[in-house]
């Protein structure tokens, strides 16, 4: 369970989609002065060196953030995300890629709070070194799916929660839906970002069916696959289920995904922005 290390995958196409959605959501939450919490169930180490042995072994960032780094015609909605990447990389080098907790820490205001979970001992220590000095942040060495429920509802009654386990265990696909349903019962007005990999299409369909059975009414599915589905051949893409999405998010992604597809996908790649409706019997 503790073998997964995100350093091998930092800055890949899945990170791009996940973090674009995250940044747009956090930007939206700052439209109101009232404070909010950011909760990250699987925070990782917070910051990754793209010249590390792990990143260089897979070179996944070359088909992800590197593509955007080299682009000269970025859509406006991508600029907040890409500018954060630029802020830690001296031109023209792309040497570092930030994880979700680092991005959130840069975006959140003095009155906001961050609650981060990371179970892997090495990543927990690195995360603590990278962000532990920030008084807004509390870091727990704990299973985030279990720890999340203990935080809800937050004192602020406003929160964005990112749930993105490694999915190394097949049970992760059902566990995240079960946890999300429990979290929603405790705190129905928060925004939840549930990331998933596209490895076997049937598992994604099962997640959709599980979410439909929860009866949650406002779920947006955002998915980007740079290549065609390829069962048994690894991750062909990824997506986000967004519960209580910002009202502009669907339109923003409908604009961004065709551009990202042009930059990062082959002829068989595909994307979608879809509303997930509750099952009729719920």
User: Which pLDDT score is estimated for 170?
Assistant: 87
User: What's the mean pLDDT when you consider all of the chain?
Assistant: 93
Q: Domains in the chain, start-ordered, CATH in brackets?
A: 6-276 (3.40.50.150)
58-107 pLDDT per residue, tens: 788 888 999 999 898 899 999 999 999 999 998 788 999 999 999 999 99
CB 26 within 8 A of CB 107: yes
Q: What DSSP string describes 34-76?
A: S--EEEESS-TTSEEETTSHHHHHH-GGGGTHHHHHH-S---G
User: Which pLDDT score is estimated for 5?
Assistant: 63
Tell me which of 88 and 9 has the higher pLDDT: 88
Name the nearest CA neighbour of 140 among 124, 152, 155, 158: 124
Query: What is d(CA 162, CA 34) in angstroms, rounded to the nearest whole number?
Result: 20
User: Which pLDDT score is estimated for 2?
Assistant: 41
118 is in an annotated binding site: yes
159-217 pLDDT per residue, tens: 999 999 989 888 999 999 999 999 999 999 999 999 999 999 999 999 999 999 999 99
User: Which pLDDT score is estimated for 282?
Assistant: 62
112 is in an annotated binding site: no
pLDDT at 257 over 50: yes
> Minimum mean pLDDT among 82-86, 138-142, 160-164, 276-280: which range?
276-280
pLDDT at 221 over 80: yes
Q: Judging by DSSP bridges, how do beta strands 159-163 and 137-140 pair with one another?
A: unpaired
Helix (H) or strand (E) holding 106: helix 100-107
Backbone angles phi, psi at 178, to 5 degrees: -65, -45
User: Which pLDDT score is estimated for 3?
Assistant: 45
120 is in an annotated binding site: no
21-63 pLDDT per residue, tens: 999 999 999 999 999 999 999 999 999 999 888 888 878 888 8
User: Which pLDDT score is estimated for 137?
Assistant: 97
User: Which pLDDT score is estimated for 1?
Assistant: 41
6 is in an annotated binding site: no
pTM to 2 decimal places: 0.95
Enzyme catalytic residues: 164
Q: What DSSP string describes 151-182?
A: H-S-TTS-EEEEE-----STTHHHHHHHHHHH
Termini Cα distance of the chain? 34
95 is in an annotated binding site: no
User: Which pLDDT score is estimated for 229?
Assistant: 93
CB 79 within 8 A of CB 30: no
pLDDT at 4 over 70: no
């Amino acid at each position: 369970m503790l073998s997964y290390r995100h350093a091998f995958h930092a800055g890949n196409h899945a990170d791009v989609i996940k973090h674009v959605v995250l940044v747009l959501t956090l930007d939206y939450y700052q439209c109101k002065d009232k404070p909010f919490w950011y909760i990250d169930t699987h925070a990782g180490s917070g910051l990754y060196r793209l010249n590390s042995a792990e990143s260089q072994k897979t070179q996944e960032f070359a088909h992800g953030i590197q593509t955007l780094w080299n682009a000269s015609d970025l859509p406006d909605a991508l600029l907040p995300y890409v500018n954060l990447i630029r802020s830690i990389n001296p031109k023209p080098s792309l040497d570092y890629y930030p994880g979700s907790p680092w991005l959130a820490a840069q975006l959140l205001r003095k009155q906001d709070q961050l609650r981060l979970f990371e179970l892997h001992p090495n990543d927990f220590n690195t995360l603590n070194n990278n962000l532990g000095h920030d008084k807004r942040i509390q870091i727990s060495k704990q299973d985030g799916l279990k720890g999340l429920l203990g935080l809800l509802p937050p004192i602020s009654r406003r929160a964005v929660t990112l749930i993105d386990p490694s999915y190394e265990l097949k049970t992760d696909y059902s566990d995240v839906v079960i946890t999300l349903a429990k979290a929603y019962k405790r705190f129905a007005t928060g925004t939840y970002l549930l990331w998933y990999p596209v490895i076997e299409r049937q598992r994604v369909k099962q997640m959709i069916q599980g979410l439909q059975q929860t009866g949650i009414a406002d779920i947006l599915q955002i998915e980007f696959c740079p290549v065609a589905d390829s069962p048994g051949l690894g991750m062909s893409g990824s997506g986000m289920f967004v519960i209580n999405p910002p009202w502009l998010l669907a339109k923003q992604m409908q604009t961004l995904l065709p551009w990202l597809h042009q930059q990062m996908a082959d002829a068989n790649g595909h994307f979608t922005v879809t509303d997930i409706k509750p099952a009729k019997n719920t």
